[in-house]
Structures are given as C-alpha cells and as structure tokens.
Structure 1
Amino acid sequence: MKLKVCGLTKMDQIQELISLNTNFLGFIFYEKSPRFVLNHLSLEGISAINHQGKVGVFVNETIEKIAEISEKSNLNFIQLHGDEDENFIKDLRKNVKKEVKLIKVFRVGETFNFQFSIFNSLVDYFLFDTDSKAFGGTGKTFDWQILNEIEIPIPYFLSGGISLENIKNLQNFVKVNMRENKTLTKLNTPFALDINSKFEIEPGSKDLEKIKTFKSLLK
C-alpha cells in the first residue's frame, strides 16, 4: 500500500520524505488552509523537487488557475477537493498535460450517497475523506466499513484522521477487504493512504519520527 503525506510546507522535510521513499507529496493550493503552500514555497521551488508523485490540492479553483499552477510547479497529480462536477473535470482535462493524473475527492459522513459513477471515466483515482462543513482535513475518521457497501471501480486513496492510534483498525479493515473482495471489479482495498494532521507538530510541520513509525508498521 502506497503512502501520501499531505500539507507539506518545509523543503527540508520534503527532502527527508523523499529519502524515505514516500510515494506522494501533497501541496495544498487553497488560500484558506493553514497549510497553504504558497505562504512557504514558490511554484518554481516546487517544480524543482525531483519526485514523480507531486500532488496539488485545489478547492473550487478556476480551471485557468489550476492549469497555470500545474504547469509552473510541474505537478504529477491534481486533487480536486471541492464541488467540482463532471463538466468541470472534462474541461480541466483539456487544459492540463495528458500525463497529469486527476484525483476526485468525496467527503463521507454517516452514509455515502454520492452518484460517483459518472466520474469513473473522467479521473484516475478517487479519494475518500471525512465530511465536514469546511473543506480540508478534519483529523477525524469516518466509518471505513461504508466503503464495503459500494463498488469502487477505480483505485482510491483513503484519508481522514488516519493515525498511529487507529492503525490496528486500519489493518483490520484492509484484511477484511482482501478476504471478502476478490473479484476484479471490486477494488475496495485502498490503493494508498493519505496522512496529514495526525502527523504534525503544527500545521504544515510534519512529525517525521511519527511518519517513520507509521511506515514501519504498514510494512
């Protein structure tokens, strides 16, 4: 299972995460976020980072702005964390490089009632996060078992309050999926885990020792 560390703002921590073979590096381009990356790093600085898993996180941003940031910072993935619909994504796809992968986020509450099948052919990955009134991380988990009740036809990232404290529950969730979902059409086992606030000293500053421990437990 792959790992994404999101909300990065410090270049020294980014380089250490690269040395730890972290699969995805998440940069938040949402001005209202306490982890807004452009308060700390430039687009040119992000572009110079030698990594194939740079993810830009956007919330209800314009297509023009996403395309500009994606180009200038040399992103590999675009994560849409707002209310972007299928028409928006179709237009976005036309305005970014074809090799850039798209991730569509769904915020899960007590139930999951999204008609997300319309996005199957438009994006490369889904990401399931905990629902909240505000956009972005809550530090809280949702009931992961909800994902067992739906068919997920493309790979997905699991997010929302993942921590060292609930890694046992996470491991059990993955084991159940691997045991019960054996058909090729059901990909309910997460493709990657997305961690953020539970592995921080303060917003944007990661606790690298916690991340190292988490990675070792995942193995």
Structure 2
Amino acid sequence: MNQQPRTYNRRPKIKVCGLTKLDQIEELISLKVDFLGFIFYEKSPRYVFNSLTLDQIKAIRHKGKVGVFVNESIEQIIEISEKAKLNFIQLHGDETYDFITELRNKLNAKIGIIKVFRVGNHIQDLKFKIQNLKSNVDYFLFDTDSKAFGGTGKTFDWQILNDLEINKPYFLSGGISEENIENIKLLKQKPFALDINSKFEIEPGNKNIDKIKEFKNLLD
C-alpha cells in the first residue's frame, strides 16, 4: 500500500538564509527563527567567509544551522560541517545520486541533508530528479530555476508543486514575501518551512530584522 505524503497544516517553520552578521543572527535567535542559513559558495554575494569564520559559526548556539553548498567536494562539506558544527547540509548544485549516497555514508548521521530542486518549465525532468535523489536526503527544497546557482529573489509557479509526488517534508524558496504568502493555501501539500532571503534584506547579507519580524507575525 502506498503511503500518502504528509501534509503540514500548522505554521511552517522559517529559515533565513544568507546570514553574515553576528548581531543579526542573535536577533533572529531571539525571534525563535527555526533555521539559520550560511552560504559556503564563493560566487555568492552572501558568501559567509567574507564576514564570519568557522569558529564564529561554531559558537552560535542554535539547533538549525544550515550550510549551503554548490557542487562542493564531499571532503570539504564534511570538514566545514564538523568545524562549524552545522546541523544541516543544503545541496544547491547538480549533486548526483552517487554523490549524495557517498556523502550520507561519510557525514555525521546527526546532520540532515536538504536537496534543492530548481523549478523551471521541465516538469518531467523535475519528477525524475525527485524520484532518483529522494532516498538519502531528509528534506527537499524547491527554488526558482536560473542560470546561476543560488537564490534569484523570483517566484516560480507554486501550482507546479501540486503536480509532483513530494514524499519528503519540503522547504519553499524563491521570492517569498508578505505579498504572496497567501498563495500557500493553494498548495495541496503545505511546505514544512519557508526559506526567505533577498526580499528581507537592506543589501546582500544585511537583513531587515523588522521586516522578518513582521513576516513571522503574519504566520503565527
């Protein structure tokens, strides 16, 4: 008998990604934000090593520290995850089944794996990737497709998710804002978490804490 995917009717959790400032991170922790995202991708304008060290990230007391990686080596992911005491690894590149399987085998079993799927117009390709990569990951993340890796700040057609078999809890990303949050009600399977970034910034890596607080209040 096929097991039906879980639905999440409660308030989705919140992940704030692209963090670079310790004082803002402390404010977000006090707001009880569920996930803190650190981007370990050198080409990103929010590349965390331009602002913080591994020791500083390690010292952050939070159970939802997420390291974002794009086509990084397994050895580097493991080294950073251990030195920064990460709780989750987010794979935002073209990672294959074999890569994810090897990473899962070598990574600390307590660290969760989030696999990102970039949503464009090729639904059949997306369906294939989901089925092929689901076995060794804990969460999916759906983001807007683009030529460059990383967030675009643009929203894809969320209705596409209603045509997918999503058998993992998932993060929804890509241009989420106060203006479009009501559209989540149209999704058959609700997101486990919302991943917010550029719509809640003053400039890349510099978050608008007041705007995040207002957004969180909308969900509560």
Give the structure-1-normalised TM-score.
0.92
Structure 2 gap segments, 5+ residues each:
1-11
Q: Verify: 1:159 aligned to 2:159, yes or no.
A: no
Which residue of the other structure, out of 13, 20, 24, is the alignment partner of 1:2? 13
1:205 is aligned with what amino acid?
A: N
1:43 is aligned with what amino acid?
A: L
Give 1:173's aligned residue.
186
Give 2:196's aligned residue.
195
Equivalent residues in 2 for 1:85-104 (5 A)? 85-104=96-115
Distance in 2 (alpha carbons) for counterparts of 1:165 and 1:66: 35
1:27 is aligned with what amino acid?
A: F
Q: Which moved more, 1:158-167 or 1:136-145?
A: 158-167
Distance in 2 (alpha carbons) for counterparts of 1:127 and 1:209: 25
Equivalent residues in 2 for 1:24-173 (5 A)? 24-113=35-124, 114=126, 115=128, 116-170=130-184, 172-173=185-186
Q: Verify: 1:217 aligned to 2:218, yes or no.
A: yes
Identity among equivalent pairs (%) = 67
Distance in 1 (alpha carbons) for counterparts of 2:25 and 2:32: 11
The list of structure 1 runs, each at least 4 consecutive aligned residues, that deviate by more than 3 angstroms after superposition, is none
Distance in 1 (alpha carbons) for counterparts of 2:161 and 2:122: 10
Give 1:208's aligned residue.
209
Distance in 2 (alpha carbons) for counterparts of 1:151 and 1:25: 27
By relative contact order (CA 8 Å, sep 6+), the higher-ranking structure is 2
Give the structure-2-normalised TM-score.
0.91
Distance in 1 (alpha carbons) for counterparts of 2:135 and 2:81: 21
Q: Verify: 1:20 aligned to 2:31, yes or no.
A: yes
Q: Per the alignment, in what secondary structure is the counterpart of residue 31 of structure 1?
A: coil
Deviation sequence 1:101-131 (CA, Å, 0-9, x none)? 0000000013422211122221000000000
Distance in 1 (alpha carbons) for counterparts of 2:80 and 2:106: 12
- Give 1:5 shift: 0.3
Superposed CA RMSD in Å reads 0.9
Tell me if the contact between 1:110 and 1:143 (Cα under 8 Å) persists in the aligned partners. Answer: no
Q: Per the alignment, in what secondary structure is the counterpart of residue 34 of structure 1?
A: coil
1:189 is aligned with what amino acid?
A: K
- Give 1:93 shift: 1.1
- Give 1:165 shift: 2.1
Distance in 2 (alpha carbons) for counterparts of 1:161 and 1:189: 17
Structure 1 gap segments, 5+ residues each:
178-187
Count of paired positions: 206
Tell me if the contact between 1:110 and 1:142 (Cα under 8 Å) persists in the aligned partners. Answer: no
2:82 is aligned with what amino acid?
A: E
1:13 is aligned with what amino acid?
A: Q
